[in-house]
Structure 1
Amino acid sequence: MEPGTALVALAAALLVATAVGVLVRRRDGRVGAVRGDDPVAPSTLGLDAATAGFGERATLVQFSTEYCARCPATRRVLREVATARPGVAHVDVDLTHRPDVARRFGVLQTPTTLVLDGDRIARARIGGAPRSEDVVRELDRILEDSRV
């Protein structure tokens, strides 16, 4: 291969990799809608129904793994938000040894957060580390919808 051609190929690969990185970075932590209206049962999360700890008004379900670097910070954010809201709970589901749960919910990265309403229906999904204000805004929307 000629040096000029190799240089152009290298520049093109770098450009594509940079564009993909920017796109992934922009989507990280964004709130997305969830399709479907099936309630999430504790058993589908690999949890015991008696100790699952779902909230009366909403539940923040965090999917994490043992080796996730951003999961501890996400756990703190979600716990703070849940503690500040009556009837809202935070549930942490460790997927390290539960690939079946990861497949069931389509979790491709950790942390991933599901926001469930009081009927345990997933209303939003956040891939990556969520920002506190985004979680609060989504909870406000869900809690407002439940009052109507």
Structure 2
Amino acid sequence: MSPAIALAVVVALLVIAAAIGIVLRLLDGRRRAGGHLRFDPADADSDRLGSRATLVQFSTQMCARCPQVRRMLSTFVADADGLDHLEVDLTHRPDLSTRYRVVQTPTTFVVDGSGAVRARFHGVPHRHALTEALAAV
């Protein structure tokens, strides 16, 4: 293979990797539909959900952004009535990542009082999107 072709291949791979990174960054923190999932509070070692809604955070011990999300969700819970926050550590319960289709941490669910997942966020949720999701519950 000639050096020109090798250089062209390397440049093409770098461009593709940068494009994928930009797309993933743009999608990070945006609201997505919850689908037909139902969250069981027993999976978070809890016996109840919030009367209005529950913010369920899936995290791991090595997650760098999880403490930031935990603090943000705690401020939402402190400012609203009927809102609760549960955290599920997937390090100790990897089976839940398959059940709830969690592919990255942090992932946050907005769950209504009956356990239906109304919205989900991958990465750090945008504050306005989280506020809109809670208003819709």
Q: Please indicate the TM-score interval, normalised by the length of the shorter structure.
A: over 0.9
* Partners of 2:40 and 2:62 in 1: CA distance: 26
* Partners of 2:80 and 2:69 in 1: CA distance: 17
Q: Is the 8 A contact 1:78 1:132 kept in 2?
A: no
TM-score (structure 1 length as normaliser): 0.87
Q: Deviations over 1:45-74 (max 9, x none)?
A: 25242xxx5210000000001110000000
Unaligned runs of 5+ in 1: 143-148
Aligned to 2:20: 20
Quote how far apart the aligned CAs of 1:137 are: 1.4
Amino acid at match of 1:62: Q
Q: 3-state DSSP class of the match of 1:119? A: coil
Aligned to 1:111: 106
Quote how far apart the aligned CAs of 1:141 are: 1.5
CA gap of 1:39–1:20, structure 2 versus 1, over 3 A, is closer
Aligned to 1:47: 45
5 Å matches for 1:116-127? 116-127=111-122
* Partners of 2:39 and 2:61 in 1: CA distance: 23
Residues matched between the structures, number? 137
TM-score (structure 2 length as normaliser): 0.94
Question: RMSD of the TM alignment (CA)?
Answer: 1.3
After TM superposition, what 4+ stretches of structure 1 lie above 2 angstroms from structure 2?
A: none
Q: Deviations over 1:71-117 (max 9, x none)?
A: 00000111111111100001111111211111111111100000001
Unaligned runs of 5+ in 2: none
